[in-house]
Chains A and B, each alone.
Chain A
Amino acid sequence: MMDGSHHEKRRLENPPATIKFKIQRREREGAPSRYETFELQYRRNLNVISALMEIRKNPVTVEGKQTTPPVWDMSCLEQVCGICTMVIDGRVRQSCSALIDDLLLASGGDTITLQPMSKFPNVRDLKVDRSRMFGHLKQVQAWIELDGTYDLGPGPHIPNEIAQERYAYSRCMTCGCCLEACPQYDGDNYIGPQAIAQARLFNMHPTGRITEEERLNGLMGDDGITNCGNAQNCVKVCPMNIPLTKAIYETNRDITVDALFGWLKK
């Protein structure tokens, strides 16, 4: 028997015989949305993805109506590719790591609601198009400038503390949770925390710092960092626990310093 210490998980003691999935459906971008509900036998160890796979096999609603299989994106199923992000019971997160037992424990009910992210074009059902997030990475030049990829030996010495701090930012999987939760972000009006944190990632690197100004410039336009309203939702929903608000604060500071003293460099 396991003891009840906090290192072991709280289990769902009396699971319901069946669970319902209320899924937002949309045939294609621009079409009206509707909900359909599906019912599955409860099993231990289900996550949202395995439930969706079960529904996809035989898409019949609770009313007994044959329908089209729900469409969603999935790939790694280990919460590291970011593709399967959706809104589950009102909270944006990855569907692979959303365990049914945990969701039922949290809600106390037997129904789980699945919706697509609302801040991105809705391709169909639960699938969205987040390509603009990759555009943000171009805008902040989220890369290191190399002289070439031929052999020039190792990179600069870096203290492990800096490496660890950068590592936290470098785990960003471009999932879009921070943008979905941000009250300021709505399409192209604000670049958002994801790109700001990536600018920070490269500005912290000894080589990346050389081109810091270009990166900061990408954050100083109308859609730039000043749009942050400090709601701090981003950091609460980030599945990788990236210190997004710290990145925003430090980048803001760097922009101020650059504005005050940048002319000295010219």
Chain B
Amino acid sequence: MRSPSSESPRRIGSDQILGMATGSKIAIVGGGLAGLAAAMKIAEAGHEVDLISVVPVKRSHSVCAQGGINGAVNTKGEGDSTAKHLDDTVYGGDFLANQPPVKRMCDMAPQIIYLFDRMGVPFSRTKEGLMDFRRFGGTLHHRTAFSGASTGQQLLYALDEQVRKWEVAGKVNKYEGWEMLSLVLDDHQVCRGLVAMNLQTLELKSFAADAVIMATGGPGLIFGKSTNSMTCTGSATAACYQQGARYANGEFIQVHPTSIPGEDKLRLMSESARGEGGRVWVPKADGDTRNPRDIPENERWYFLEEKYPAYGNLVPRDIATREIFQVCLEGHGVAGENQVYLDLTHIPAEVLTERLGAILEIYEMFVGDDPRFVPMRIFPGVHYSMGGLWVDFEQRTNIPGLFAAGECDYSIHGANRLGANSLVSCVYGGFTAAPSAIEYAKNIERGRTETNGIHASELRRQQEINDAIIKGSGGENQYKLHEELGKVMTDNVTVVRYNDRLQATDDKIRELQERSKRISINDSNLWATQAVPHARQFQNMLELARVITLGALNRNESRGAHYKPDFPERDDDTFLKTTIAEYAAEAPVLSYEPVDISLIQPRKRDYSSGKKTSPPGTADRPTGVKETRPNDPANKEEFGVKE
């Protein structure tokens, strides 16, 4: 199984690959940006990959990323640098991220972008034919490479193409339409592979591997409706957690400031709309029902620009979200409802079409109005998990042989992720996990695992869980339970958090756990049924929901996306620490680990001081970063959120 492919990979034409008689087999779970980045690197190094994905990898959630990918290339004469990218990321994340891996990511980011350029991604270009860069939240520099407003789709396709080449060469075996159920661990808690289920036949199969890389993305579906794809259940990471993998910073959930509310999901309206000059406002008069275009400038309240003169509409997401939320809570939302205007109508329509076409089409398609001429109505929506599987600086989890990369790991974004940092962190994670897994696989003892029955016994255990679900007859409806979970999580564990409500949420989750044991699947046809996979995903979601909720309950401070009005300040003495959750049957066991702050000393996070910079689209002041972030004791309101 581990011998190199007998068919000559002629077109790839590398003698080294064929000469590697001791190639390893590495399983990757998830075919989004992180998983494909790792697969490409492992195949290129001459090893074999089993790639397991619930959907054809080209349809992974990475396609939904819109605005761009960050890398400090400094092509705009602004004096940008990877050091500033590091500072923006750490500061934007409210100092909760371990700094060394963030530095490595920022240093690697320009190379990552250039590699995608070589792969043929149609990045938007300047007049000279160079890659163009735009502004994004939480920075004053043009640092975001973009391909229209579908950058995630374009980057994913580039990796999909490269991995397809390796598939043709026999180095990558794709298992699309398979869902990972559990890890195969040996007696020493070492990962020896995984068990997955064919979503068409419900057949279970164990995949023996020298190492396993998790690249399964985020858990947005725990909140019912979010900006995530329907595949983003967090189920596979929850399975790892229940088998002993540590889950870190689960309580840090990013709520994106601008989404389009819908019946089935909240559709993302990219931050690039503000990066290109979009302005957020509400009418000054509450309940003003005039056509927004008839409301004169002086009767509009541009609340972000007013409170944050330097960053304006491009404050980090946690801050913009709280402001929009608060404005609506106080009854200032458009027509008294939970919505504010995101206005692009002052920008020429042809500029908007070229640079933002894809996202404006989404709005027009689902809402009906053309945002080139009518201000959009938006509201915050659950978007991203900063938390995830705990990994060290080489993307190794605490389980030997198990690695993680991308949104499913916790390592880069601290308490709040900056826009356009997710794509780069996915690729960085994959590029780091790959050599790390190869190195690990080189040194492991092999051979005994196939014979000592661990695969067979894990397969049996998983089959029993399936059988129990199929036989279940308690009358509970899995989809209604899921709606109940989504509602309680969205109501209590998103933008503003109170301890009594968090406690009540955990009580509710435990009630749902009890009731989930009594699910009766309503599908008598097991061929390609969605009921069995969903029931399993839901039970896993409940476990992660507890990690998120109890992590939030226990963290009595406000930091980044985690905001408690009863504890409005950041408390570095107590909580400049990573939350670690470990599975136990009664409740997750929480512990705290110091954060590596060896590169940048924590300082107060304040985006409200500093003057207005030049408008987007022109070069910003090269020295803007330092000037706009004095540690000024006069600015007491850390977030500018009214209580």
Q: Residues of A with Cβ closer than 8 Å to B?
A: 1-3, 5, 7-9, 11, 27-28, 43, 45-47, 49-50, 53, 56-59, 68-69, 71, 73-83, 96-97, 99, 123-124, 127, 130-131, 134, 137-138, 141-146, 148-149, 151-155, 157-160, 163-164, 166-167, 170-171, 173-174, 201-202, 205, 207-208
A50 to chain B, nearest CB (A): 4
Query: Do residues B477 and A57 form an inter-chain contact, with CB atoms below 8 A?
Result: yes
| Contacts A134-B164, A146-B118; A157 near B129 (Cβ below 8 A) | yes
Q: A156 to B367: give the CA distance in the assembly, Å.
A: 39
Q: Does B22 sit at the interface, judged by CB under 8 A?
A: no
Q: How far is the CA of A68 from the CA of B525 in the complex (A)?
A: 7
Listed by A's residue number, 17 A-B pairs whose Cβ atoms lie within 8 Å are A2-B291, A5-B373, A7-B370, A9-B368, A28-B528, A46-B263, A57-B477, A57-B479, A78-B267, A142-B161, A154-B117, A154-B131, A155-B114, A157-B128, A159-B125, A171-B153, A205-B120
Q: Which of A57, A68, A131 contacts B480 (CB 8 A)?
A: A57
Q: Of the listed stretches B54-62, B497-505, B572-580, B626-634, name the one at the interface; the rest are far from the partner chain.
A: B54-62
List, in ascending order, chain A residues with CB within 8 A of B354's CB: 164
Chain-A contact segment, one of B180-188, B358-366, B468-476, B540-548: B358-366
Residues of A within 8 A of B153 (CB): 80, 171, 173
Going nearest first, the 10 A-B pairs with the smallest beta carbon separation are: A9-B368, A143-B161, A157-B129, A155-B117, A7-B373, A50-B263, A167-B122, A50-B264, A160-B125, A81-B59
Q: Is B154 an interface residue (CB 8 A)?
A: yes
Whether A8 and B267, one on each chain, are in contact in the complex, defined by CB atoms closer than 8 angstroms, is no
| Cβ–Cβ contact B64 & A143, under 8 A | no
Does A137 contact B125, Cβ atoms closer than 8 Å? no
CA distance A227 to B367 in the complex (A): 40
Contacts of A59 in B (CB 8 A): 522
Assess whether B369 is in contact with A7, with CB atoms less than 8 Å apart.
yes
Measured between beta carbons, the chain A residues less than 8 angstroms from B115 are 149, 151-152
Q: B77 on the interface (CB 8 Å rule)?
A: no
- Shortest C-beta distance, A79 to chain B (Å), equals 7
CA distance A208 to B165 in the complex (A): 14
Contact of A155 among B120, B147, B262 (CB under 8 A): B120
Nearest chain A CB to B219's CB is how many angstroms away? 15
Residues of B close to A5: CB separation below 8 A: 373
* Given A8-B369, A50-B263, residue A77 in contact with residue B230 (CB < 8 A): yes
Residues in chain A near residue B123, CB distance under 8 A: 163
Report the separation of the CA atoms of residues A131 and B59 in the bound assembly, to the nearest whole angstrom: 12
Does the CB pair A153–B129 fall under 8 Å? no
Contact of B477 among A58, A75, A170 (CB under 8 A): A58
Are B200 and A123 touching (Cβ within 8 A)? yes
Chain B: minimal CB distance from A226 (Å): 25
B373: chain A residues at CB < 8 Å are 5, 7
Q: Are B264 and A158 in contact (CB under 8 A)?
A: no
Residues of chain B within 8 A of A163, CB atoms compared: 122-125
Could you say which residues of chain A place their CB within 8 Å of the CB of B367? 9
Asked if B265 is an interface residue, CB under 8 A from chain A, the answer is yes
Complex-state Cα separation, A144 to B161, whole angstroms? 8
Q: A1-B291, A77-B267 are in contact. Are A97 and B147 (CB under 8 A)?
A: no
A137 to chain B: which residues have CB within 8 Å? 161, 164
Closest B residue to A169 by CB, please name it: B122
Q: B148 to chain A: which residues have CB within 8 Å? A: 167, 171
Within the complex, the shortest CB–CB distance from A165 to chain B, in Å, comes to 8
A187 CB, nearest partner CB in chain B, Å: 19
A28 to B148, CA, bound (A): 40
Q: Per a CB cutoff under 8 Å, which of A3, A143, A208 touches B164?
A: A143
Q: A81-B59, A152-B118 are in contact. Are A76 and B368 (CB under 8 A)?
A: no
Bound CA span A218–B129, Å: 31
Knowing that A2-B291, A59-B522, A164-B122 are A-B contacts, what are 12 other residue pairs whose CB atoms are under 8 Å apart, sorted by A's residue number?
A2-B374, A27-B525, A45-B263, A57-B477, A68-B522, A82-B59, A144-B162, A146-B119, A155-B114, A157-B129, A163-B123, A170-B154
